[in-house]
Amino acid sequence: MSEARDARLALLFELGDDLGESLVLWGEEKWLRQIDPCRVRLGAEARDDVGEVNRDSAEPPRARIEAVRIVDMSSSNAWAEFSSIFRRTREAYLEHENAKAELKALTPVDAKEATGHGIRAKRSKSGAVTIDVLDLEGSHAPVQ
């Protein structure tokens, strides 16, 4: 094996359906990624009809192009449209992010979930707090 240029994981078993083949192919890709971390993830189009990996049809990773120039986008209508939206919604975005941070800070440390005024703060097992908007259709949030 040390003198081989190419190694393949070959497993043969029958489960009576395509699940067996899928598991073999998944295991092969996982194993190959372990021995070659730079490997490009191959899609279904990179396999031939037998299920063998066809390296010729896999796209190589694209080279990073160094950004070296400054471009004036003033003549682009799309740039004008999206820059207008970006500038118009910037304050609302900052206000939203600030409110989210404050809600997370107000959530008690020992609380798994906190709700009120149409908002739910939910703590994950890792301790991260996620803020969600609750559907208040047909009811109103009580004012305290």
**pLDDT one-digit tens code per residue, 33-50:** 777 665 545 544 454 445
If 0-12 CB within 10 Å is exposed, 13-18 middle and 19+ buried, where does residue 124 land? exposed
**pLDDT one-digit tens code per residue, 2-45:** 555 554 444 444 445 666 677 777 777 777 777 766 554 554 44
pLDDT of residue 18: 65
If 0-12 CB within 10 Å is exposed, 13-18 middle and 19+ buried, where does residue 121 land? buried
pTM, to two decimals: 0.47
**pLDDT one-digit tens code per residue, 96-142:** 999 999 999 999 999 999 999 999 999 999 999 999 999 876 555 55
Q: Domain-by-domain residue ranges, the chain? A: 1-61, 77-133
